[in-house]
Amino acid sequence: MMVLLPGLLVVAGAESWLAWRTAVEAANAAYDRSLLGAVKAIDASISTDSGGLAVELPYRMLEFFELTASGRVQFRVSTEDGLVEIGTAHLPAPTEPLVTGQPLFVDTTVFEEPVRLASYARVLDRAIAGATAPQRVIVQVAEPLTSRKLFTRRLVAQALWRDFVLVTTAALLLLLAVSWALRPLARLRDEVALRPPLDLTPIEPGGVPADVLPLIAAINRHVERTRSLMEARRQFIDDASHQLRTPLTTLTTQLAYVLREDDSVLQRQALGALKLQLDETVRQTNQMLALARADSVEMVRETLDLGHLAGEVTRSWWSEARGHDIDLGLDAAEGGMHLVRGHAGLLKEALGNLLHNAVRHTPGGGHVTVRVSSGDGRVVLAVVDDGPGLPASELHRAGQRFFRGSNAVAPGSGIGLAIVRSIAERHGGSLEVGTGEGGVGFAASIVLPAQGAG
């Protein structure tokens, strides 16, 4: 409305000016015609029969002119050289040379009264007043401008009034239309305002104008994402608290046993077991925190060479692997061929989790291989072992939070793979699991989009 109203006013102003100009021209056209009639009538009553210039002007005709002009009409008939002159002598001479038979209309003043002056010249039928050849006679008629001005003013006033009515009506209609169209939005606003804070159900788009539907849909999607996020959090808190309850209970029991035991050797043994359990609980807690962090940490990406990263992490796990009597191998080119954009810390943690799983679940004498490969716009970081693996029917559940395979013998929280999955998905990739080489063992692969392909 702020743009529309001034715009309308400007347009109305321009139209009014045009209306005034048109009115002036219309008035002039109309009144000039009648003025020309007067000129022609006077011209018709010019006679040179007596040897001089004579004008027989019926009084009624003059009356008629004065009626239409609503004011005094003055006329002058003279020879072109001005020597013979009848009528009002002080009408201004024509400003430009007269073309015979073509009337000239000008606005001028006679004794300071504004008039419209028509001048007209034609050739006399004979020579008079001592001239050697017939010369032209000039007929001039002047009428006051009052009638025209009144006429013009009235036309313009009408146009202005019309414009005013038009603009006001248009503005009113616009106001009505806009407010009527926006009423569903007002209803929506009230509806949303009245919602309880945790109500995340989609907004009902019924009745709103079609232009607003995409907005409603976007809001609903956003709300849905928030809702599922909150749902996931809630689920996580539920799971986490449930998971921690058990080890903490175990710790309490073990501690109670220690306090009950008098024998110091047995006490030491019991404390040792308690320490193991505590370590495991600490590790579990750390993992859950890591998972929460993986879900929420700010993703600052940089260009990484996954091969180099894999080499780094693998080398740091060698001693651990040897301690478990596991042959840890690396199959990755480190020449910068496996570039991705990602968070180095998160990816190292993911790989660390996979290695932890592999080392823990593979019995002594087994083999674990870290492999990085690229192709089809993807880079794959895989950890393959020849341990017991997962039963085929449970493969699809790998990566679910707190899932532990039914054939798991080593302690674990079931969160490791969930962390890896979360990290992979935050990088726009995925976690794929399957059996190792030859259908034996377990293979976990982080698949990420190669740099430039995601």
Partner 1 sequence: MPSPIRRATRHLAAAGFLAAAAAAAVAGPLDKTECIAPAKPGGGFDLTCKLAQQALADAKAISDPMRVTYMPGGIGAVAYNTIIAQRPDAANTIVAFSGGSLLNIAQGKFGRYGENDVRWLAAIGTDYGAVAVAENSPYKSLKDVYAALKADPTKVVFGAGGTVGSQDWMKAALIARAAGVDPKAMRFVAFEGGGEALTALQGGHVHVVTGDAAETSQQIKAGSKVRLLAVMAEKRLDGDMANVPTATEQGAEINWPIIRGFYVGPKVSDADYKTWSDTFAKVMATPAFGKLRGERGLYPLALTGAEMDSYVKKQVAAYRKMAQDFGLATAPAK
The nearest distance, CB 68 to partner 1, in angstroms, is 14
59: which 2 tokens?
């009084």
The nearest distance, CB 90 to partner 1, in angstroms, is 5
The nearest distance, CB 154 to partner 1, in angstroms, is 24
Q: Which strand (E) or helix (H) includes residue 76?
A: strand 74-79
286: which 2 tokens?
């750390």
Question: Binding marks (x or -) toward partner 1, 88..127, rule CB under 8 A?
Answer: xxx-------------------xxxx--------------
By CB under 8 A, residue 131 contacts partner 1: no
In angstroms, rounded to a whole number, what is the distance separating the alpha carbons of residues 108 and 110?
A: 7
Question: With the CA atoms of 34, 36, 42 and 44 taken in that order, what torsion angle do they form, in degrees rounded to the nearest 10?
Answer: -110
By CB under 8 A, residue 72 contacts partner 1: yes
By CB under 8 A, residue 33 contacts partner 1: no
The pairing of strands 339-342 and 302-305 is antiparallel
Instruction: For partner 1, give the closer residue by CB, 63 or 199.
Output: 63
The nearest distance, CB 78 to partner 1, in angstroms, is 8
Rule CB under 8 A: choose which of 85, 231, 238, 325 binds partner 1.
85
- Which of positions 222-261 make contact with partner 1 (CB under 8 A)? none
The nearest distance, CB 2 to partner 1, in angstroms, is 52
Q: Do 55 and 63 form a contact (C-beta atoms < 8 A)?
A: no
71: which 2 tokens?
């004011």
Instruction: For partner 1, give the closer residue by CB, 82 or 391.
Output: 82
Please state the φ and ψ torsions of residue 381, each to the nearest 5 degrees: -110, 110
The nearest distance, CB 116 to partner 1, in angstroms, is 17
Per the listing, tokens 């009597």 go with 325
279: which 2 tokens?
């370590």
Question: Binding marks (x or -) toward partner 1, 34..63, rule CB under 8 A?
Answer: -------------x-xxxxxxxxxxxx-xx
Q: Quick one: how far is CA 438 from the chain centroid?
A: 56
- CA 417-420-426 angle, to 5 degrees, is 140
By CB under 8 A, residue 130 contacts partner 1: no
The nearest distance, CB 132 to partner 1, in angstroms, is 19
Rule CB under 8 A: choose which of 37, 87, 311, 352 binds partner 1.
87
> Could you report how far apart the first and last alpha carbons of the chain are, in Å?
45
Rule CB under 8 A: choose which of 31, 75, 120, 442 binds partner 1.
75
H/E/C letters for each residue in 78-116?
EECCCCCEEECCCCCCCCCCCCCCCCEEEEEEECCEEEE
Instruction: For partner 1, give the closer residue by CB, 111 or 206.
Output: 111
Query: Which candidate, 268, 341, 269, places its Cα nearest to that of 309?
Result: 341
By CB under 8 A, name the binding residues for partner 1.
47, 49-60, 62-63, 66, 71-72, 75, 84-90, 110-113
